[in-house]
Amino acid sequence: MDRDMDRDMERQRRLRIGVLASGRGSNFQAIIDRVEDGTLPVEIAVLVVNNRDAGAVQRAERHGIPWHFIDHRGRSREEFEREVIAVLDEHRVELVVLAGFMRILTPLFIDHYRHRIINIHPALLPSFPGTHGQRDALEYGVKVSGCTVHFVDTSVDGGPIIIQRCVPVLEDDTEESLARRILEEEHRALPEAIRLYAEGRLRIEGRRVRILDG
Ligand code: GAR
């Protein structure tokens, strides 16, 4: 009984995250896996998708995580974002995680969660921002690429960088093979950045994010 109460209190203390996704949801799954294996001490309060067919939805269902579909089509960006904010606030979300969320957010949303939104991007920013980070890196001819987790500000993919992980670009790489190699690193980087945030170890100083000792 005491142990149950301890566990309940521990869950109540955990940082509540809300995940926004548009597709397959493998990064969302990486977060779920780290929470379930006990290495990421957060509560996944809610998943929001803007695409009814997003694979992320099945993952949420399988793991008993509340989810909401909010359609962005046929309405203004602000109207869409106001509804997302209402859902996140209703679930008392403290950190918003963009895990393959393919919509640009306006200042309305970003100001509401100032310094409380992080995004995973499949390239080493500030190179190759936008929707085709892996393809753009390959076509440019770089020999190293990777992924970036960063705080979201009103620029596109330009907020302060929390973590980057690199992979080599191989001679026979295609967009798909490079994307696969980068994705493996995304699955490490995103939960790690969330953990650092949850532990209160990230300090934004201008463009730099200082990682404090644990
Ligand atoms: C990931 O590669 C993520 O970095 C990318 O979409 C993919 C989503 O995969 N995000 C962006 O390109 C954002 N600009 P997932 O749905 O399997 O996590």
Q: What is the pLDDT of residues 102-138, one digit of tens each?
A: 999 999 999 999 999 999 999 999 999 999 999 999 9
Our answer on whether the CB atom of 43 is closer than 6 Å to any ligand 1 atom is no
Residue 71: phi and psi, rounded to 5, are -80, 135
Task: Ligand 1, residue 29: give the atom nearest the CA.
Answer: 18
Our answer on whether the CB atom of 191 is closer than 6 Å to any ligand 1 atom is no
Q: For the segment 3-35, what is each residue's pLDDT rounded down to a tens digit? A: 666 666 666 689 999 999 999 999 999 999 999
CATH of residue 69's domain is: 3.40.50.170
Asked if 106 and 126 sit in the same domain, the reply is no
Residue 81: domain span: 1-114
Residue 148 pLDDT exceeds 70:
yes
* The domain boundary residue, chosen from 99, 114, 129: 114
Please give the share of the chain, as a percent, with pLDDT higher than 90.
Answer: 93
Asked if 53 and 147 sit in the same domain, the reply is no
Say what the pLDDT of residue 214 is. Answer: 83
Q: What is the pTM of this model?
A: 0.95
d(CA 124, CA 183): 13
Q: For the segment 72-108, what is each residue's pLDDT rounded down to a tens digit? A: 999 999 999 999 999 999 999 999 999 999 999 999 9
Asked if 109 and 173 sit in the same domain, the reply is no
Structure tokens at 125: 């920013």
Q: For the segment 153-196, what is each residue's pLDDT rounded down to a tens digit? A: 999 999 999 999 999 999 999 999 999 999 999 999 999 999 99
Our answer on whether the CB atom of 146 is closer than 6 Å to any ligand 1 atom is no
d(CA 15, CA 178): 33
Asked if 78 and 130 sit in the same domain, the reply is no
Asked if 73 and 178 sit in the same domain, the reply is no
* The domain boundary residue, chosen from 86, 114, 142: 114
d(CA 49, CA 91): 15
